[in-house]
Structure 1
Amino acid sequence: MPKLLSPNASLPRVAKTSLVDEVIAAMRGMLGKEAWAPGSKLPSEQELSRQLGVGRSTVREALRVLGHLGLVESRSGLGTYVIDRGMPQGRIAATQSADALIELYEFRKAIEIPAARQAAERHSAAQMARIKSAWTDCERAVKRNSADEFAQLDYQFHFAIVLAGGNRFAIEAYRGIEESFARNVTMILGQGQLRSMLHFHDDLIDAIDRRDAEAAEREARENFVETDVRLKLLLQGDANAR
């Protein structure tokens, strides 16, 4: 039988204006306590929301990120369980700087989020097929557990969306980051389990395919929530290792 959390193992409250990553930080802090040992069942989303003082949607997003990091696992009809307490400790490659890594993701957000909306509004059948095919290639790389290969193919996937968006200036700008993209995404992937990426962009692809521009933009933006967490973990791990 899985261990249940003690009623006394309360989470620290966080401000109502806190971001998802603050909730994640609070929950990560509990992973170091015996009450949240591997095999323990977490409180319900409603209870976590009450203890943390935030909305259920914020808790749900935090649990999604922690699941992708390989720390918790949602089991259909049973709840969410702790499966690991260890956090990856990464280092930024010697040829890179923290500022360059941050700037790359700032650039990606500036291009990819509006491109998702534009792709939903403008894509042709051939462009949609290219997006789906590029993601199928990414899934194969996940199944082969090859982070380097996935990073290279992930660029092709996102570039396919930018191409479908049809903004020639965005296309030319995005074309210029291919080398940096693959190198930096590999480092980001090291902050979690590669297998968690298997269905990472399914909802984004579906929204583009349905020509739901608002949903496509929302999914692109939400995907960056997890990327931001992984980036912070990488930067923190690098700083701690120095």
Structure 2
Amino acid sequence: MQVGSDRARRTLAFLRHRISSGEWPINSKIPTEPELMQLIGVGKTTVREAVRSLASVGMLEPMPGIGTFVRSRMPVSSVLTDYLSEFGAADLLGYRRALELEAAQQAARHRTDEQLAAMRHALDNPATAPEQPFGRDHGKAPGQFHFLVMEASGNTLLVGLYAGVVTALRQALHSGTVVHATDAETRLSEHRVLLAALEAGDIAAAAHAMAQHIERDLVPAEQA
């Protein structure tokens, strides 16, 4: 019993570290079950329990027949997500806009060279970055770059609230009440404009770039 408990804790710690460190980016697919068994040196049951545990707090999302994907670098409050899901698309997107504008301004003040490098990497390596279509919109909610901007704000409350918003947005994308107003190439171009403002430490330019991006990113389906 004690051995199994140690293995479970070790497996959970392994997965959480890969997620929280950014080694497995937001919206990326984690290794398969057999690969995890080999990497960690544990059995199938232990891996499945650890994945279920992280899925229950919104950090992972298993998609049958496709794989398991990283959805948040920190636990997501189910109370917050349930509360946000009660609101309409316009209210949810307005709340997201408020959080992201504040984060962009704070990130322009507080971002570190390491955080800027992580943002550049996310934009320059689309194979491991967000916006991976899987036939449905599961992977198209705001991804790694947006979370990195949030974290660069230095405000952990913003990051926690944003994680709940993204979970609610993913549900809205899946139900079709929220859609993208631009294509992936346009979103990437707008991300680069925002990154340039953050690199320059220009608070006004960062807020302007984020505002323009938000207005043209996700919209209520009736406005598309």
TM-score by length of 2: 0.50
State the alpha-carbon separation in 2 of the partners of residues 143 and 110 from structure 1. 22
Matched, 1:200 2:190: yes
Q: Give 1:124's aligned residue.
A: 112
Task: State how 1:39-188 maps to structure 2 within 5 Å.
Answer: 99-138=87-126, 148=137, 150-152=139-141, 154-185=142-173, 187=176, 188=178
State the alpha-carbon separation in 2 of the partners of residues 158 and 205 from structure 1. 11
Structure 1 residues 193 and 171 mapped into 2: Cα distance closer, same or farther (>3 Å)? closer
Q: Give 1:235's aligned residue.
A: 222
Structure 1 residues 144 and 112 mapped into 2: Cα distance closer, same or farther (>3 Å)? closer
C-alpha contact (below 8 Å) 1:120/1:213 kept by paired residues: yes
Larger Cα Rg: Structure 1 or Structure 2?
Answer: 1
Q: What is the SS of the residue equivalent to 1:166?
A: coil
C-alpha contact (below 8 Å) 1:120/1:207 kept by paired residues: yes
Structure 1 residues 160 and 179 mapped into 2: Cα distance closer, same or farther (>3 Å)? same
RMSD of aligned residue pairs (Cα, Å): 3.3
What is the aligned-residue identity percentage?
A: 23
Q: CA deviation at 1:195?
A: 4.0
| Amino acid corresponding to residue 181 of structure 1 in structure 2 | L
Structure 1 segments unaligned to the other structure (5+ residues) = 1-95, 238-242
State the alpha-carbon separation in 2 of the partners of residues 185 and 136 from structure 1. 25
State the alpha-carbon separation in 2 of the partners of residues 111 and 132 from structure 1. 22
Matched, 1:210 2:210: no
State the alpha-carbon separation in 2 of the partners of residues 98 and 176 from structure 1. 13
Q: CA deviation at 1:136?
A: 3.6
Structure 2 segments unaligned to the other structure (5+ residues) = 1-83
TM-score by length of 1: 0.47
Q: CA deviation at 1:168?
A: 2.3
State the alpha-carbon separation in 1 of the partners of residues 147 and 171 from structure 2. 16
State the alpha-carbon separation in 2 of the partners of residues 211 and 161 from structure 1. 13
Higher mean displacement: 208-217 or 132-141: 132-141
Q: Give 2:71's aligned residue.
A: none
Q: Give 1:33's aligned residue.
A: none
| Amino acid corresponding to residue 120 of structure 1 in structure 2 | A
Structure 1 residues 162 and 218 mapped into 2: Cα distance closer, same or farther (>3 Å)? same
Structure 1 residues 132 and 181 mapped into 2: Cα distance closer, same or farther (>3 Å)? farther
Q: CA deviation at 1:197?
A: 2.8
Q: Give 1:224's aligned residue.
A: 214
State the alpha-carbon separation in 1 of the partners of residues 166 and 150 from structure 2. 13
C-alpha contact (below 8 Å) 1:141/1:149 kept by paired residues: no
State the alpha-carbon separation in 2 of the partners of residues 221 and 136 from structure 1. 22
